[in-house]
Structure 1
Amino acid sequence: KNLVDIILSNNGYNVVNIGIKQPVSAILEAAEEHRADVIGMSGLLVKSTVIMKENLEELNGRGLAAKYPVILGGAALTRAYVEQDLHEIYQGEVRYARDAFEGLRLMD
């Protein structure tokens, strides 16, 4: 998460890093306040994968999926889980970033 912040910031992106273990309400509040173009989440623990799925479902439920593309990464995730399983449930665009440089490529 911090490396993604550094890489994106050093390449001209404005990153709003709200920290770890934030509820989806805090993520959406920050996204609205800062007029975010993308929401990014990183997960290091297997439990993170469940929370990310719940967060995507919440964005769907609030009708915000079309507004916010989501980039997901971290040690707990695999490309297949994001691009197959989560892609099937999220009504917006969701992408997997293996590392900070792939995150930068996706942002570009």
Structure 2
Amino acid sequence: MSDLFKRIADAVRNGSKEDVKKLADEVLENKVSPIEAIQKGGVSGLEQLGEAFENLEAFLPELMLGGEAMKVLIDSLTPYMGSEKSAFTGKIVIGTVKGDLHDIGKNLVATTLSVNGFYVVDLGVDVSTNKFIEKALEEQADIIAMSSLLTTSAYYMEELIKRLKQEELNTRFKVIVGGGPIDPNWARVIGADAYARTAVGAVKICKSLMGTDVITEMLMGD
């Protein structure tokens, strides 16, 4: 099966959704374990892509295509996993808060999280508190990630955390914040679980949030 896994890895690395869909069908036809196909094929391809990005051999558009191809693979195989564990590290709902239309940094974080094994639901920009909470509940998310580049809109980060506490949802979702004017102190003040300064830092912190209790260092940046 190593040849099939390699072809899947190459298809994801190249961002070819059409090839990925055909290979997913081949996985099912040959009764190959879906989780193995994702981990030994898809994840391998994303790791290659991530390494190429770090070495400046691949760029953001290629990362986005690779992430989309990986989603096709997972969406195609997930219904056939049965009792096998989820292929995702975790599920994250991400968006730029209400009153802010900046999305470059948020897009990079979303793509980097996706490439590193998270299922990412991107709500876009100007996202209201209600929409964050409604989507997080609908998607059964693990983490809510909020971005802001304007000090005037950062207030909505605090509003969301207050709402989660009021509705007794604060133990259901972890909250990570970031963006130009956001710093570790602001994250502490509003009661966020973590703060990240960069996309790579966000990945490390989200993996920690999925695996361990929140530690003080998470609010220190990266």
Is TM-score (shorter-chain normalized) higher than 0.5? Answer: yes
Structure having the higher helix fraction is 2
Structure 2 partner of 1:19:
124
Report the secondary structure of 1:22's partner residue.
Answer: coil
Identify unmatched segments of 5+ residues in structure 1: 88-92
Deviating above 6 A after TM superposition, structure 1's stretches of 4 or more consecutive aligned residues are none
Counterpart amino acid of residue 205 in structure 2 = L
Aligned equivalents of 1:81, 1:15: Cα separation in 2: 24
Q: Give yes or no for the alignment of 1:105 onto 2:211.
A: no
Which of 44, 53, 60 is equivalent to 2:149? Answer: 44
What RMSD in Å do the two structures reach over aligned CA positions?
Answer: 1.1
Distance in 2 of aligned mates of 1:25 and 1:44: 20
What is the CA–CA distance in structure 2 between the aligned matches of 1:78 and 1:12, rounded to whole Å? 26
1:24 CA drift (Å): 1.1
Q: Alignment identity in percent? A: 33
Aligned with 2:118: secondary structure?
coil
Q: Of residues 108, 118, 132 in structure 2, which corresponds to 1:3?
A: 108
Aligned length: 102
Greater length-normalized contact order (CA 8 Å, ≥ 6 residues apart): 1
Per the alignment, residue 163 of structure 2 pairs with 58
Residues 78-106 of structure 1: CA deviation (Å, up to 9, x unaligned): 111113x123xxxxx61101111111001
Distance in 1 of aligned mates of 2:143 and 2:165: 15
1:77 CA drift (Å): 0.5
Match of 1:86 among 179, 190, 199: 190
Matches within 5 A, 1:63-78: 63-78=168-183
Partner of 1:95: 194
Q: Distance in 2 between matches of 1:48 and 1:95?
A: 18
* Shift of residue 59, structure 1, vs aligned partner: 1.0
The DSSP-based 3-state class of the residue aligned with 2:136 is helix
Q: Distance in 1 between matches of 2:202 and 2:127?
A: 20
Larger Rg: 2
What amino acid maps onto 2:110 in structure 1? D
TM-score, with normalisation over the residues of structure 1? 0.89
